[in-house]
Amino acid sequence: MFKERTEKAKEKLVDLDSSDEDSIIPSPPQGLAAQPAPGDQPVDEGEKEARAGPSGGGGGGAESGAEEEQSSRRSKVKTPRWIQACMHYRFPASIDPFTNLMYVLWLFLVTLAWNWNTWFIPVRWAFPYQTPDNIYYWLLTDYLCDLIYILDITIFQPRLQFIRGGDVVCDKKDMRKNYMKTKRFKFDVASIVPLELFYFKTGINPLLRLPRLLKINSFFEFNERLEAILTKAYIYRVIRTTTYLLYCLHCNACLYYWGSDMIGIASTQWVYNGQGNSYIRCFYFAVKTLITIGGLPDPTSLPEMIFQLINYFVGVFAFSIMIGQMRDVVGAATAGQTYYRTCVDNTIKYMSSYRIPKDVQNRVKTWYNYTWQSQGMLDEQELLTQLPDKMRLDIAIDVNYSIVSKVPLFQGCDRQMIFDMLKSLRSVVYLPGDYVCKKGEVGREMYIIKAGEVRVVGGPDGKTVFVTLRAGSVFGEISLLAVGGGNRRTANVIAHGFANLFILDKKDLNEILVHYPESKKLLRRKARKMLTKGKKPEPKEEAKDPPKVPAARVRPETPKLLRAALEMTERATGLKRALAKVKEKTSKSSVSLQPSISSSLPPPSPTSSGPDRDVDTPSPTSGSPATFRSASRCHNNNNNNNNNFVMPQSVSQGHSDAGDSDTGGMLATDQREEGVSEVEGNEGGKREEKKL
């Protein structure tokens, strides 16, 4: 009845905070409160009977109900979470021995039981610490350890998963059969052989529990699982090696007391004299014997001498092994620091031999110190080279993906492309004031800021800070993608303080983008937008200036002596007629060019054309050279060639030489060429007007 009432009160307490406020509201009349719901009528009748108990009134029942509600509320609040977790815990059907933390805790409990038997069986056998007064405590602890052994053999070990043919087997029958086939099962069964049944004949002898030590496989397995969990496993290895040494001393102390008891306590100078704490005195003797410190009394009998010789031999052999193992453990723990010191010493030796300046040496030392303190290693990639590619990717995602995914340049790209890029990132540390990149350098890397700050500087003095970039920023991507050939750095970037940067090489990125063409197009498009955005002010400045009209090219004058020599050569060799025929042929082909020229040029005035006709009348072929020159010049100007036609240059300015010579025949030729040059000058000016 009280249980049903408590459950009903828990259902009403939906909100603990609101329950206190509801308690302030006065209770309704007793008649209304007594009306039950249709479904709750049997329960309410039971409650009425309970209220009509010894108190004989309803007030007592109300007080008891309030007390139960408060007690249930307290129990609900005060129940620890770990107790609730234990109550709702369900034992798994199969256990992964490599990743299950509960299994490691269970192995720790089994190891404690094994250590109890390992350390206290020799003590209870040699020293008189097991007496009839405390024998029940010893036996209770022994049987509790035996129970742990049995639970481990029957429940935990048959549920361990194993690998068969590359597959993880989780079937109960297969797991049980696999455990029963192993040697560990045989040792485990032998460790719980009930030799304690001989207690009825020999008495309680602790040596009958020696088979419990065969559970040593659980101790070794616990060591392996614990070392895999600990971040600094070398500390546990040092403690374990020290424990081995102490156990050797512990066993030697037990044997020394047993030997002294067999010979007789205080019977000779060599045996234990029975004074003080027996275990401490015997342990002190074992330490001096095994470590061969000296200062021990000489043995007087043959058994004493044999025991002492065995002690010396075991001490030398065992301690040499322990010391060597300790050296290996410490050496493995400090291997990274030893490698760091070796690199620093070699670098300092190299810089000293080449007489590197002190400021450079100090910066190198600072880089080594900061890199080692911040990362604990000099190169992160060295630790990951031995791992498979998939595992290296998983580690890179956990370490670097949160930073790279926030980079605006890579947003929208293929997710797998980003994963492949994470494996190619290199972490580099820059000191304060170091140049990450300089203006004008050929860009072969892109930088992503992992930690720290960098500054983009420039200006006339090279110290003006344009912008400060922080963690998650990217720079150098334009040079890396080389859009439009812009693969040179456009600014200086300096580390402000210690900066840790990710570097992505151009070669690695190109190898990745080969497999992701869509991402490659997206990156190129984003790079073009960024490049265009950075060059927007430049066209505006150029548009303000008026366009400059190119000036007409001034033709250099042909030397007078050269023109005279050409005229004399034509007359002497008879090449003039041949040249005239060639000009006639070319003039026919150039007639087609005249309409286009004449349409764009105004017709010449009669006054300006009169002198040209007078100059061209002495020879019937005088019109063809002018036409040939004008057509060729128009053709050359349309093709933007700077070379001039040789014949017009050599002939057009021949009138100056003709004025200086004494021959009368050259005068007519000079007049004709002078007219041709005037026609060419007029046509050249009209062509320039057409271009404008």
Same structural domain for residues 428 and 517? yes
Quickly list H helices, 230-301: 233-263, 278-290
- Domain that residue 99 falls in: 88-229
The answer to whether residue 424 is domain-embedded is yes
The 3-class secondary structure across 348-376, one letter per residue, is HHHHHHCCCCHHHHHHHHHHHHHHHHHHC
Q: What is the pLDDT of residue 26?
A: 43
Sequence-ordered list of residues with C-beta below 8 angstroms from that of 62, at least 6 positions apart, any chain: 51
Same structural domain for residues 374 and 404? no
Quote the CA–CA distance of 336 and 371 in Å, as a whole number: 13
Same structural domain for residues 288 and 194? no
Query: Which amino acid does the sequence have at 362?
Result: N
Q: What is the pLDDT of residue 679?
A: 43
Query: Which amino acid does the sequence have at 211?
Result: P
Cβ burial of 207 (10 Å; 0-12, 13-18, 19+) is exposed
Sequence-ordered list of residues with C-beta below 8 angstroms from that of 479, at least 6 positions apart, any chain: 442, 443, 444, 446, 486, 487, 488, 489, 490
Same structural domain for residues 352 and 316? yes
Q: Is 195 helix (H, G, I), strand (E, B) or coil?
A: helix
Count: domains in the chain: 3
> Which H or E element spans position 160?
none
Q: Cβ distance 273 to 284 under 8 Å?
A: no
Looking at 378, 395, 417, which one is the last position of a domain?
378
Same structural domain for residues 308 and 425? no
Q: Which residue(s) pair with 462 in the sheet?
A: none
What's the length of the chain? Answer: 692
Q: What is the pLDDT of residue 78?
A: 65
Rounded average pLDDT per 10-residue block, the chain, 692 residues: 47 43 41 40 41 42 56 60 75 88 94 96 93 93 95 94 89 93 94 92 91 94 92 88 91 93 88 90 90 80 89 84 84 84 92 90 89 78 75 81 78 85 85 87 85 88 86 78 65 88 87 88 82 52 47 59 70 62 62 46 42 38 39 42 39 38 41 46 48 42
Quote the CA–CA distance of 179 and 174 in Å, as a whole number: 9
Q: What is the dihedral of CA 303, 309, 310, 315, to 10 degrees?
A: 150
**Cα four-point dihedral sign 269, 275, 278, 282:** negative
Looking at 329, 361, 378, which one is the last position of a domain?
378
Same structural domain for residues 390 and 360? no
Chain Cα centroid distance, residue 221: 33
Same structural domain for residues 366 and 388? no
Quote the CA–CA distance of 100 and 91 in Å, as a whole number: 12
The CATH number assigned to the domain holding 441 equals 2.60.120.10
The answer to whether residue 420 is domain-embedded is yes
Same structural domain for residues 393 and 512? yes
Its pTM stands at 0.56
Supply the DSSP string of 509-536, one letter for each residue: HHHHHTT-HHHHHHHHHHHHHHHHHHTS
| The two three-digit tokens of residue 451, written as one number | 């930690």
Q: Which residue(s) pair with 168 in the sheet?
A: 163
The answer to whether residue 414 is domain-embedded is yes
The CATH number assigned to the domain holding 213 equals 1.20.120
Looking at 180, 212, 229, which one is the last position of a domain?
229
404-407 own/partner pairs: CB under 8 Å, 24+ apart = 404/448, 404/502, 406/472, 407/448, 407/472, 407/474
Cβ burial of 459 (10 Å; 0-12, 13-18, 19+) is exposed
Q: Cβ distance 399 to 448 under 8 Å?
A: no
Quote the CA–CA distance of 168 and 162 in Å, as a whole number: 6
| The two three-digit tokens of residue 406, written as one number | 């926030």
Same structural domain for residues 304 and 282? yes
Using the CB atoms, write b or e for 401-422: b if 16+ within 10 Å.
Answer: eebbeebebbeebbeebbbbbb
The answer to whether residue 109 is domain-embedded is yes
Q: Cβ distance 55 to 61 under 8 Å?
A: yes
Alpha carbon of 38 to those of 14, 41, 44: distances in Å? Answer: 22, 6, 10
Quote the CA–CA distance of 636 and 255 in Å, as a whole number: 118
Same structural domain for residues 179 and 275? no
Q: Is 183 helix (H, G, I), strand (E, B) or coil?
A: helix
The answer to whether residue 327 is domain-embedded is yes
Q: What is the pLDDT of residue 146?
A: 95
| The two three-digit tokens of residue 216, written as one number | 């040593």
User: CA-based Rg of the chain, rounded to a whole angstrom?
Assistant: 53
Same structural domain for residues 288 and 336? yes
The answer to whether residue 127 is domain-embedded is yes
Q: Cβ distance 149 to 212 under 8 Å?
A: yes
Q: Which of 516, 511, 509 is nearest to 476 (CA)?
A: 509
Cβ burial of 502 (10 Å; 0-12, 13-18, 19+) is buried
Q: Is 475 helix (H, G, I), strand (E, B) or coil?
A: strand
Sequence-ordered list of residues with C-beta below 8 angstroms from that of 673, at least 6 positions apart, any chain: 651, 652, 653, 654, 655
The answer to whether residue 682 is domain-embedded is no
Same structural domain for residues 455 and 442? yes
Q: What is the pLDDT of residue 59?
A: 45
Quote the CA–CA distance of 211 and 193 in Å, as a whole number: 7
The answer to whether residue 57 is domain-embedded is no
